[in-house]
């Protein structure tokens, strides 16, 4: 059976060979209707781009690096899943490296050295790993940072963490709570910092007291320990946790002392959030759009497009039974 060529695909789809090449390389500079027609022609003919030939022709390997600090948190794993799916849809492979050393600079240098050794075309850096890239990423190496401050050196994208946190806090206040306590994420995390900011601004806007922040590490266990010192105080009626895992820890602490009246809200809308007891009110991140946007931005940088301004993806408050009014 003769090998199917890009020219065969171009003839069937009624497009130029350059358009077929752009679709095969995952370029965002293709009209969605045209892309669908080319992909349908590829599927009909059984065409598979030759990665080695493409690398020789374009200087690109079709492999994208992903840098992550840990996969222990649900947010990181869902982001990795979304980025991998978006890259696969653009016919790109993904190489994941973790920051293994305790020293951030050493870990970042090692991570980017590994990416260079494997010849990746560019990188997506996730969440808590983003503070390390300011010095480690070489000028000219395309990088998209998820949950990072805006920078001229790389493209940055984030959920509307502050807006989401403000909506959860305002919702709890609207239910009749005098104030809302906060179990925050770790220092150095943009997501944690922005969620704390949204919580604080919502309280200040309502003229509500601003309690002392409790600092967690994204885990249910640590949040449980923090909340153990909080929930015996009957004046504490509402808690906003910076992620759903810590919200679970707060609910556990409340149940342990018979506080079935404590209102709790989280952030992320993990798959099991609707099955917590009570079902958890939370802020949903659009992980699929974050992953798609990160890959779209990176491929644009690879195609020579200018670094875009900071991209913010909206969040959405999901109200469930855990955000009960006070007694």
- Going residue by residue through the chain, which has 327 residues, state the pLDDT in tens, using 9 for 90 and above: 467 777 888 888 898 888 887 787 667 778 888 888 988 888 888 887 665 555 545 556 789 999 988 887 788 889 999 999 999 888 889 999 888 766 677 777 888 888 888 889 999 988 777 777 766 667 778 899 898 877 767 888 999 999 999 999 999 999 999 999 999 999 888 899 999 999 999 999 999 999 999 999 999 999 999 999 999 999 999 999 999 999 999 999 999 999 999 999 999 999 999 999 999 999 999 999 999 999 999 998 888 888 777 889 999 999 999 999 998
- Rounded CA gap, 226 and 228, in Å? 5
The pLDDT, as a whole number, for residue 54 is 57
Distance CA 88, CA 91 (A): 5
Q: What CATH number does the domain located at 63-159+287-313 have?
A: 3.40.50.2300
CATH architecture type of domain 161-285: 3-Layer(aba) Sandwich (3.40)
Tokens of 294: 């990160």
pLDDT value of residue 116: 85
DSSP label at 118?
T
How far is it, in rounded angstroms, from Cα 86 to Cα 88?
5
Domain 63-159+287-313 matches domain 161-285 at the CATH topology level:
yes
**63-68 and 93-98 beta bridge pairing:** parallel
Whole-number pLDDT of residue 22: 79
Q: 10-13 contacts: CB < 8 A, separation 24 or more?
A: 12/41, 12/44, 12/45, 13/37, 13/38, 13/40, 13/41
Contacting residues for 223 by C-beta, under 8 A, at least 6 apart: 183, 216, 241, 245, 246, 247, 248, 249, 250, 253
Query: What one-character DSSP code corresponds to residue 50?
Result: -
| d(C-alpha 205, C-alpha 213), whole Å | 18
Tell me the angle at which helices 6-13 and 32-45 cross, rounded to the nearest 10 degrees: 120
What are the structural domain ranges in the chain?
6-49, 63-159+287-313, 161-285
Query: Which pLDDT belongs to residue 56?
Result: 45
**Which CATH superfamily includes the segment(s) 6-49?**
lambda repressor-like DNA-binding domains (1.10.260.40)
**If DSSP states are collapsed to H, E and C, what string results for 156-211?**
EEEECHHHHHHHHHHHHHHCCCCCCEEEECCCCCHHHHHHHHHHHHHHHHHCCCCC
CA distances (Å), 119 to each of 80, 114, 189, in order?
Answer: 20, 9, 29
- Strand-by-strand arrangement of the 63-68 sheet: 93-98, 63-68, 122-126, 143-146, 155-159, 311-313
């Amino acid at each position: 059976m003769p090998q199917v060529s890009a020219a065969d695909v171009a003839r069937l789809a009624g497009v130029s060979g350059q358009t077929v090449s752009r679709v095969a390389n995952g370029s965002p500079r293709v009209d969605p209707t045209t892309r669908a027609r080319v992909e349908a022609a590829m599927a009909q003919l059984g065409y598979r781009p030759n990665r080695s030939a493409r690398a020789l022709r374009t200087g690109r390997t079709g492999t994208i690096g992903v840098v992550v600090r840990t996969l222990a948190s649900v947010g990181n794993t869902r982001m990795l899943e979304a980025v991998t799916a978006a890259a696969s849809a653009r016919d790109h492979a993904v190489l994941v490296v973790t920051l293994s050393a305790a020293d951030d600079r050493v870990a970042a240098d090692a991570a980017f050295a590994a990416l260079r050794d494997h010849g990746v075309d560019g990188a997506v850096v996730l969440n808590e790993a983003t503070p390390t890239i300011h010095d480690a990423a070489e000028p000219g190496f395309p990088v998209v940072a998820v949950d990072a401050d805006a920078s001229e050196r790389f493209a940055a994208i984030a959920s509307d963490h502050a807006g989401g946190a403000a909506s959860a806090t305002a919702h709890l206040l609207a239910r009749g709570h005098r104030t809302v306590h906060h179990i925050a994420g770790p220092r150095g995390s943009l997501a944690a910092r922005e969620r704390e900011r949204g919580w604080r601004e919502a309280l200040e806007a309502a003229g509500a007291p601003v309690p002392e922040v409790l600092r967690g590490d994204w885990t249910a266990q640590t949040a449980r320990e923090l909340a153990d010192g909080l929930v015996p105080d009957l004046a504490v009626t509402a808690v906003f946790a910076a992620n759903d895992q810590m919200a679970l820890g707060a609910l556990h602490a409340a149940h342990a002392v018979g506080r079935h009246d404590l209102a709790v809200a989280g952030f992320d809308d993990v798959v099991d959030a609707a099955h917590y007891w009570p079902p958890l009110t939370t802020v949903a991140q659009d992980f699929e759009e974050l992953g798609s946007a990160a890959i779209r931005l990176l491929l644009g940088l690879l195609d020579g497009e200018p670094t875009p301004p900071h991209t913010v993806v909206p969040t959405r408050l999901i109200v469930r039974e855990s955000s009960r009014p006070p007694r």
